[in-house]
Amino acid sequence: MVQSFNLQGILQSFRVMVSPRLMVPHIVVRDIRDINFEQLHKAGIVAIAFDKDNCLTRPYGHDLHPPFKDAWKRCRDVYKDQVAIVSNSAGTPDDKDDQLAKALESSLQVHVLRHKEKKPSGGQELLKHFDGIKAAKVAFVGDRALTDVVFGSNEGMLTILTKDVVTEEGDNPMAIRVGVISFDGDYGNG
């Protein structure tokens, strides 16, 4: 699977230089096991969306990282159908006939957003999916500050950065270089 050149992502990185706070997450966790979904829901976050690669699965994989099984069940129990995945591979125009998106939905049992713009652009497409829910009541979870955190920040969502990636095996080298600048400005995976 070839990941296409993300021009919007590069343009957004220039915007981040002007306004660096766009890439500062509200919450930093080790991985999704550290997210208290019950507490988050009680606090008024009524919908939640996730990045896929390195956050839930290995890059280009369809299966949940096995140690996350219980956490993922808790998330789905709390959020039910108000959970979605926003990937820069599955569900994009690169995903022929939505094959990746369908495989992922079958495996993870949540909706995979079909979207034209790649993160960090396209937040409006997610909000449209969560019909009628204000951005401030939506959390976005991902492992990359420049793509996932900025994606959520652009719309005013709560942003949660996962610091421990599942794996980088098979990932796009450019995506790695551009995407893993962490919230404190360090390069690397933290």
Interface with Mg ion by CB under 5 A: which residues?
51, 53-55, 143
What are the angstrom distances between the C-alpha of 26 and each of 11, 65, 112, 138, 149?
23, 24, 24, 12, 9
Which residues 6+ apart lie within 8 Å of 41 measured at CB? 78, 79
CB 65 within 8 A of CB 166: yes
Q: Which is nearer to Mg ion, 6 or 54 (CB)?
A: 54
Cβ 72 to Mg ion, closest distance in Å? 16
Cβ 81 to Mg ion, closest distance in Å? 23
Q: Which is nearer to Mg ion, 41 or 164 (CB)?
A: 164
Cβ 170 to Mg ion, closest distance in Å? 12
Phi, psi angles (nearest 5°) of residue 113: -65, 130
Cβ 55 to Mg ion, closest distance in Å? 5
- What is the C-alpha to C-alpha distance for residues 148 and 162, in angstroms, rounded to an integer? 10
Q: Which is nearer to Mg ion, 13 or 54 (CB)?
A: 54
Q: Which is nearer to Mg ion, 31 or 143 (CB)?
A: 143
Cβ 63 to Mg ion, closest distance in Å? 15
- What is the C-alpha to C-alpha distance for residues 3 and 48, in angstroms, rounded to an integer? 25
Q: Which is nearer to Mg ion, 46 or 176 (CB)?
A: 176
